[in-house]
């Protein structure tokens, strides 16, 4: 049975001499592992279509394991991303997050919509890190380690003195621990994180990180993924973080 799906390529693996297996993340079927015959031949029609984070229209024969590509058209190749190392790094990282948080044939339409909207903005805007953090917040929630950002993590008090990664979110004066391994007290960082957490797909275009928060926010997310997620993200280290502010 042929099935038409729209989706974004999140992984490609060489297979046999001329073929490739790609993962396509779709709103309707989740992640679809897809065999693309002849993808590595010089004259393959699917050179652009099978590139990482290309958004395309795929006609497939759906199987229980590996599905087969019959035909495909590129919807958006994201030229601007592919021409810029920083944009590429962020987009590759998003692909890795999607692969880690999703299962084959288990759809998550909302995550797909975030993913597509953020790639579209990477392509056209200058903001990268802030958009990436919005996506990371979505992924952390799905991994069951979302930050508690509505009042103190322990008592729900609104008198917040910091963000404790050990406690998993905001903390009040009573529940802040002196030997906390990762405590953030800078109000600008906390305010920025709360603003990122309030974003919707419609407001994403307005995301801008204050310069002084860029480095510490990257450290916060690295720490959360490294210590609590159980997933290893090899592309995380390529995300540019200025060492001097």
Report the interface residues with Zn ion, using CB under 5 A: 152, 154-155, 157, 172, 175
CB of residue 172 to Zn ion, shortest distance in Å:
3
Residue number with the shortest CB distance to Zn ion?
152
CB of residue 151 to Zn ion, shortest distance in Å:
8
Of 119 and 171, the one with the shorter C-beta distance to Zn ion is: 171
CB of residue 213 to Zn ion, shortest distance in Å:
24
Helix (H, G, I), strand (E, B) or coil at 172: strand
Cβ contact 24:10 at 8 Å: yes
Structure tokens at 157: 């008090």
Structure tokens at 34: 């897809």
Of 106 and 179, the one with the shorter C-beta distance to Zn ion is: 179
CB of residue 35 to Zn ion, shortest distance in Å:
53
* Total length of the chain: 245
Of 139 and 165, the one with the shorter C-beta distance to Zn ion is: 165
Of 10 and 153, the one with the shorter C-beta distance to Zn ion is: 153
CB of residue 164 to Zn ion, shortest distance in Å:
10
Nearest-angstrom CA–CA distance, 137 and 213: 16
Of 103 and 174, the one with the shorter C-beta distance to Zn ion is: 174
Nearest-angstrom CA–CA distance, 110 and 199: 13
Structure tokens at 42: 């010089």
Residue 225 burial class via C-beta count within 10 angstroms: exposed 0-12, middle 13-18, buried 19 and up: buried
């Amino acid at each position: 049975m042929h099935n038409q799906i729209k989706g974004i390529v999140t992984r490609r693996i060489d297979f046999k001499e001329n073929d490739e297996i790609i993962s396509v993340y779709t709103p309707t079927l989740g992640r679809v592992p897809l065999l693309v015959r002849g993808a590595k031949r010089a004259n393959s029609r699917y050179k652009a279509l099978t590139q990482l984070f290309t958004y395309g229209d795929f006609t497939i024969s759906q199987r229980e394991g590996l599905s087969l590509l019959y035909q495909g058209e590129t919807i958006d190749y994201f030229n601007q991303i592919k021409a810029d190392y920083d944009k590429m790094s962020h987009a590759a990282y998003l692909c890795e997050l999607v692969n880690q948080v999703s299962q084959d044939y288990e759809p998550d339409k909302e995550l797909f919509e975030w993913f597509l909207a953020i790639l579209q903005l990477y392509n056209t805007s200058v903001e990268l890190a802030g958009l990436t953090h919005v996506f990371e917040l979505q992924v952390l929630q799905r991994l069951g380690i979302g930050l508690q950002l509505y009042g103190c993590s322990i008592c729900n008090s609104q008198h917040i003195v910091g963000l404790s990664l050990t406690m998993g979110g905001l903390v009040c004066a009573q529940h802040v621990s002196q030997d906390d391994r990762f405590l953030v007290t800078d109000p600008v960082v906390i305010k920025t994180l709360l603003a990122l957490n309030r974003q919707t797909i419609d407001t994403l275009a307005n995301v801008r990180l204050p310069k002084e928060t860029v480095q510490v926010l990257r450290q916060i997310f690295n720490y959360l993924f490294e210590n609590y997620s159980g997933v290893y993200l090899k592309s995380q280290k390529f995300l540019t973080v200025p060492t001097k502010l």
